[in-house]
């Protein structure tokens, strides 16, 4: 049986920031939040997802399995009325698992890289692309995506 490993206080704070950064870069989640597909409290649901993911990593006494994390992410997307079939749930889960492992080892490269990318994204003028999406009720939604 593997000994329980805990994040240091410093690593915990950095990992929390990393979770928020990973989720903030998840296009499907940000589209759902920005367009309030989960209702007026879509932003709150997104913030709750970050808190739930962080708690899952830091409070769980069991072995952490990526499938369980994928289920958490999928449930959150469903609460935002968003079905994600582009592989992004698996990609986000993998990034979070890897980042947690790094932070457990006192390695914060992934979070630092995300921080740097986030600063560049904010500093550069945004490129916008307009797209139209037809939902299951054949309603057309016009969305602007910022890159």
Q: What is the pLDDT of residue 1?
A: 41
The first and second tokens of residue 67, run together, are 């499938």
Give the integer Cα–Cα distance in Å for 93 and 65. 10
Per-residue pLDDT at 118: 83
Give pLDDT, residue 119.
Answer: 78
Residues 6+ apart with CB under 8 A from 126: 146, 147
Q: Cα separations (Å) of 102 from 26, 34, 111, 121?
A: 20, 31, 9, 24
Q: Which residues of the chain have pLDDT under 70?
A: 1-4, 121-138, 140-147
pLDDT at 81: 94
> Rounded distance, CA 123 to CA 116, Å?
11
Q: What is the pLDDT of residues 87-118, one digit of tens each?
A: 999 999 999 999 999 999 999 999 999 999 88
Give the pLDDT confidence score for residue 129 in this predicted structure: 55
Of 95, 111, 117, nearest in space to 13 by CA: 111
Q: What pTM does this model have?
A: 0.79
């Amino acid at each position: 049986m593997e000994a329980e490993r805990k994040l240091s206080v410093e690593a915990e704070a950095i990992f929390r920031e990393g979770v928020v950064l990973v989720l903030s870069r998840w296009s499907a989640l940000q589209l759902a939040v920005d367009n309030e597909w989960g209702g007026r409290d879509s932003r709150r649901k997104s913030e709750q997802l970050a808190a739930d993911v962080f708690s899952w990593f830091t409070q769980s006494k069991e072995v952490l399995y990526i499938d369980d994390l994928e289920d958490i992410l999928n449930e959150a997307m469903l609460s935002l009325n968003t079905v994600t079939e582009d592989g992004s749930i698996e990609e986000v889960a993998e990034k979070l698992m890897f980042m947690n492992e790094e932070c457990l080892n006192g390695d914060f490269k992934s979070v630092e890289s995300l921080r740097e990318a986030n600063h560049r994204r904010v500093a550069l003028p945004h490129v916008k692309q307009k797209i139209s999406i037809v939902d299951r009720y054949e309603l057309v939604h016009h969305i602007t995506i910022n890159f």
